[in-house]
Amino acid sequence: MNSRIADELEHGWTKVWDVSIASDPLLGVELIKQILDELEQLNWDQGELFGVHMSLEEAIMNAIKHGNGLCENKQVVINARISPTKFYVRVEDEGPGFDPTAVPDPTLDENLTKPSGRGLMLMRIYMTCVEFNSTGNQIELLKVRQI
Amino acid sequence: MAEFECIDVSDSNDVSIVRLVDEKVMDPVRVQKLGDELLSLPRQESDRILINMENVRFLSSAAINKLIVLEKRLSKKGGQIKFSNLQPEVKEVFNITNLNSVFDICEAQEDALEQFRSDQ
């Protein structure tokens, strides 16, 4: 299968995280903060950081809460890479996965006040590319800066 | 009046003005706390609520869901809710997700209060 993200991974990354965390939201928040702080050091602007923050938060919290059901003996594997021009993250949980094509469009009138689908939509807006594995328990996000 | 951690509540002509305290509304424990505090409002205050979001630089979709639940709860009771002072990035999220058609969004707190007065 063609993958835009795979083509972009050969890159001179400035910083790399390859970690596995327990399904504790606070551990997710701490890692998100670290990544955003490092991106800020690389002069990513506030608008871009907002989009990365939103996407990273959705991907990691979805894995912890919906994928692993907040079960602390289940792990979330996170591989993140950043540089002055690119942000990449792969997040994998131990859950059964889901079908991203079956998520309803949250902008349709009948879905506007439903809780699901908004996070996935925002990730697709803010990231250059969003890909899932066939099981649906792994997401990859890529942002290429327009500079 | 109840003590709150995630919101500051004041009153102006029977409108509850609610300022969200956190700059980043993302920590799941805080999001849950925020939701609980917001949902306690319609019973304690008037049924007209203005959410001033000036402090908020980031909010997760889970936090947005709490605002939606409040809006639904209030609408069901015949109440009104308005939002004001959104930061540009937060406003963009509401626009992208079409929530600007669900939420009544005003530029400034005074604009929202004026609308509440003229709605009476």
According to DSSP H, which parts of A16-111 are helical? 25-41, 46-61
Q: Which two tokens stand for residue A36?
A: 């955003």
Q: What does the pLDDT read at residue B1?
A: 56
Q: Does A113 touch chain B (CB under 8 A)?
A: yes
Q: Which residue has the higher pLDDT, A3 or B19?
A: B19
List all residues of chain A from 31 to 60 with a beta carbon under 8 Å from chain B: 32, 46-47, 50, 53-54, 57-58
Q: What are phi and psi of A48, to 5 degrees?
A: -70, -40
Rounded percentage of chain A residues whose pLDDT exceeds 90:
83
Q: Which residues in chain A are contacts of B101 at CB distance < 8 A?
A: 112
Within a 13 Å sphere around the CA of A143, how many CA atoms are in the beta-carbon half?
29
Closest by Cβ to A113, choosing from B29, B89, B102: B102
SS3 assignment, position A40 = helix
Average pLDDT value for residue range B24-38: 88
List all residues of chain A from 1 to 30 with a beta carbon under 8 Å from chain B: 25-26, 29
Q: What does the pLDDT read at residue A131?
A: 97
Q: What does the pLDDT read at residue A24?
A: 93
Q: Does B4 touch chain A (CB under 8 A)?
A: no
Q: What does the pLDDT read at residue B43?
A: 63
Q: What does the pLDDT read at residue A2?
A: 63
Average pLDDT value for residue range B98-114: 94
Q: What does the pLDDT read at residue B2?
A: 66
Mind telling me how many Å the CA of A119 is from chain B's nearest CA? Answer: 6
- Inter-chain contact B72–A113, Cβ cutoff 8 Å? yes
Average pLDDT value for residue range A30-43: 97
Amino acid in the structure at residue A8: E
Inform me whether the pLDDT recorded for A52 exceeds 90. yes
Q: pLDDT tens digits for A73-121?
A: 999 999 999 999 999 999 999 999 999 999 989 888 888 888 888 999 9
- Inter-chain contact A65–B28, Cβ cutoff 8 Å? yes
Q: pLDDT tens digits for B70-88?
A: 998 888 888 899 999 999 9
Q: Which residues in chain A are contacts of B57 at CB distance < 8 A?
A: 50
Q: pLDDT tens digits for B50-73?
A: 999 999 999 988 899 999 999 988
Pick the closest to residue A44 from A135, A126, A134 (CA basis): A126
How many CB pairs (< 8 A) connect A and B? 55
Q: What does the pLDDT read at residue B53?
A: 96
What is the pLDDT of chain A when averaged over all its residues? 94
Nearest-angstrom CA–CA distance, B19 and B24: 13
